[in-house]
């Protein structure tokens, strides 16, 4: 009976150690992926200065003149603001600025024109309701563009590192508990 109990304990300890090591390995792999993908984007982001933006005007753009004909496109919102005492164009995120510099906000789904238009009108109404809001600007030299929300800010970085840290801590805790249990059982067997 004692031999079966000892064998069951060893199997349980082995499984717990494997779980702890697997958790630590997964956390290390996740850290590596985050450091190689998210950290460079965070470091490249120049939108660090937070300032107050005052709404000047909003305009919905949904048609473009092309050789005398109006060509329907996706609707987008154009927002002009006053930030740090100068006129600027507000972009929703860094990606919005990279996708189309003529749009401040591009709706998420462009498949259905009516739904995209409704989404743009909803965002426009929110801006008109809240005339003063916080925005992010680049260091001096690029005052013509500001961001409403940073994709790669410190909160994003901390939130991304939370779960791997939790996984690493849990794995190390499991390994420490198994090893301390083994040490205590060796001490008890010696007495």
- According to the model, what pLDDT value does residue 54 have? 84
- According to the model, what pLDDT value does residue 156 have? 82
Per-residue pLDDT of the chain (191 residues; tens, 9 = 90+): 445 545 556 788 889 999 999 999 999 999 999 989 888 888 777 777 788 888 888 878 765 544 454 445 677 787 878 776 778 888 888 888 777 777 888 887 777 778 888 888 888 888 888 888 888 877 666 667 888 888 888 888 888 899 999 999 999 999 999 989 888 887 877 77
- According to the model, what pLDDT value does residue 18 have? 93
Q: Where are the domains of the chain?
A: 49-152
- According to the model, what pLDDT value does residue 21 have? 95
- According to the model, what pLDDT value does residue 56 have? 83
The number of beta carbons lying within 10 Å of the beta carbon of residue 171 is: 20
Stated length of the chain? 191
- According to the model, what pLDDT value does residue 104 have? 82
Q: Which residues contact 112 (CB under 8 A, 6 or more apart)?
A: none
């Amino acid at each position: 009976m004692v031999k079966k109990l000892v064998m069951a304990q060893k199997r349980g300890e082995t499984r717990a150690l494997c779980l702890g090591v697997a958790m630590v390995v997964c956390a290390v792999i996740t850290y590596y992926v985050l450091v190689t993908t998210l950290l460079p984007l965070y470091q490249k982001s120049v939108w660090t200065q937070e300032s107050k933006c005052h709404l000047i005007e909003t305009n919905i753009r949904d048609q473009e003149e092309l050789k005398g004909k109006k060509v329907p496109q996706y609707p987008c919102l154009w927002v002009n603001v006053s930030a740090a005492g100068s006129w600027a164009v507000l972009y929703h995120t860094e990606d919005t600025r990279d996708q189309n510099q003529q749009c401040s906000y591009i709706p998420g789904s462009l498949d259905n024109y009516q739904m995209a238009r409704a989404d743009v009108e909803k965002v426009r109404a929110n801006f008109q309701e809240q005339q003063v809001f916080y925005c992010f600007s680049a260091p001096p030299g690029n005052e013509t563009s500001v961001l409403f929300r940073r994709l790669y800010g410190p909160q994003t970085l901390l939130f991304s590192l939370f779960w791997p840290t939790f996984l690493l801590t849990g794995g190390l805790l499991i390994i420490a508990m198994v090893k301390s249990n083994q040490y205590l059982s060796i001490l008890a067997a010696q007495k």
